Structure 1
């Protein structure tokens, strides 16, 4: 099915950046906005964010998404649960297709498709994410302060993460799940920092209501833990749609954007959140979503920009 409706903005991705952009655009009260969300991503996996203003007790990604969707819908933003498989530019418009064959068209496009962390399908892992097992040292290094911590990872990415985390705790074990090569200098640095290094395939993360208790290896060894981290490298950057449209990608496949506007190298296409080159934090994704939405509004309402001298320094 091809929708005959032409939206002002189509947002691909209903995570934190996409939702914040949808709220901002909805509050202008003049735009037809559609969010197409696959329903799965980093924020759906995180059981608790601890570093957000106003949530000292923590808040889950699912709760943030639920609140954000209701808020956006109250401003008239439409939502569809689907996976976008392709995007093209046609006669000054952007058309996306979903896995079911449906097509949607818009004047502008915001890509907020994010990144998905790579980790093995180990029993007990997912229930701990964000509660006692973490992925970002900037976001959650605080949570392991002085705690017995097991880092589950692979090769160099795991070793480099271990050296960062050693600033937070003296009780740190790095388990190289894939037995990937680790450079001798990294092994030496870990030894000098008192980091225990082990190799072995992880069989299970033993946990109770999201609190990690130990990490079991397939060879029978067990490592007690109060906290955990993962660092396997090779995270999946969902930049395929941007590449289809011809947007410039960095060497690590994140999408390059104008630092001021968040517009990509393709006029009419913006990118926000973990898809872009930035510190991968929820608060940053929110800010980028808002910035992108403000500039999308300017593109859609040129008279607004002209009234403000064509500059956005003080007009938001």
Structure 2
């Protein structure tokens, strides 16, 4: 794994033309970005991963549904293994947040928040999604271990367990109803006290889901990571074995896609070709949670590899054309 030096745009000039340094710029060093880098590295391509060092996979303490990890694996550990994996390939890392991306006839130039610039022939956007989480003491150490955000990933973990859903309005109510597939002992705490609507309120009652319309003061834990319930703003304590968070309004990190004119859905997820993972903008690919699909680590891995295969096909075409 190689660290980069900042590159001045002036140093990228050669004979009056923009000299493209990297075959591919990967924006985002999470699961999709790292998997793509592994595949491109095995194609002997020059790759730069630009990582803001913060994302969904940095806060999840354990993923439970990944082949080969029956006891679970922490997101940051998985990322560290990915970085070790790419160390033998022609893959470099730069840590920073990209704020601007420009496309020209020569490729792409990106700029981070401190002014460093890098150029490449292709771009893979693997910028992910960040959950909207409440600022509650004790919450973060539990994430992925005893408190969860994704029913597809971790609904199984609450099977027949007393569970508290911490959420907001309709989003939290919908999550509570979804989780009845695994347990019938659910309490929904509407932390933000936004109205879930009469229909959802009735459905909660029909499913015998206890409903609490009061803010949470703090998370109750054992050994820091074992969720044991919550203390409400009024001082009352509610005990439980597991927790789920469902507030809605998750941040889809597709602002760079917007700059490039990439097509997005109303919820800001990026649309890609199902086969190639390329966007509507030539030589711009996207993979992982930022794409419109179920947000699973295993899906992100597959999309990273899939995008890399088609990036390689495009780079081979560029090689033949002398670009």
- Give the TM-score, by structure 2 length: 0.92
Match of 1:211 in 2: 226
Moved more, 33-42 or 4-13: 4-13
Match of 1:192 in 2: 206
2:3 aligned partner: none
Residue number among 284, 288, 304 corresponding to 1:269 in the alignment = 284
Q: 5+ unaligned residues in a row in structure 2: which ranges?
A: 1-6, 13-19
Deviation of residue 76 (structure 1)?
2.1
> After TM superposition, what 4+ stretches of structure 1 lie above 6 angstroms from structure 2?
none
**1:226 is the counterpart of 2:232:** no
In 1, the alpha carbon distance for the partners of 2:319 and 2:212 equals 60
Which deviates the most, 101-110 or 201-210? 201-210
Instruction: Report what 1:235 is aligned to.
Output: 250
Between 1:101-110 and 1:5-14, the stretch displaced more is: 5-14
Is residue 160 of structure 2 the alignment partner of residue 154 of structure 1?
Answer: no
Superimposed CA distance per residue, residues 80-126 of structure 1 (whole angstroms, 9 cap, x where no aligned partner): 11111111102231111101110100000000000000011110010
- Report the count of equivalent residues: 305
> How far did 1:179 drift?
0.2
Partners of 1:76 and 1:9 in 2: CA distance: 11
Q: Aligned with 2:194: secondary structure?
A: coil
1:292 is paired with a residue whose SS is helix
Do the aligned residues in 2 keep the contact of 1:8 with 1:107 (CA within 8 Å)? yes
> How far apart in 2 are the matches of 1:96 and 1:140?
36
Inter-partner Cα distance in structure 1 for 2:229 and 2:244? 12
Native 8 Å contact 1:298 1:304 kept in 2: no
In structure 1, runs of 5+ residues without a counterpart are 306-316
TM-score, normalisation: structure 1: 0.94
Instruction: After TM superposition, give the deviation of residue 302 of structure 1 in Å.
Output: 2.0
Shift in Å at residue 304 of structure 1? Answer: 9.3
Q: Is the 8 A contact 1:242 1:255 kept in 2?
A: yes
- The aligned residue for residue 62 of structure 1 is 76
User: Partner of 1:2 in structure 2?
Assistant: 8
Alignment correspondent of 1:18: 33
Instruction: Measure, in 1, the Cα distance between the counterparts of 2:48 and 2:148.
Output: 32
- CA distance in structure 2 between the aligned counterparts of 1:207 and 1:265, rounded to whole angstroms: 47
In the aligned structure 2, how far is the partner of 1:94 from the partner of 1:304? 17
Match of 1:92 among 85, 106, 114: 106
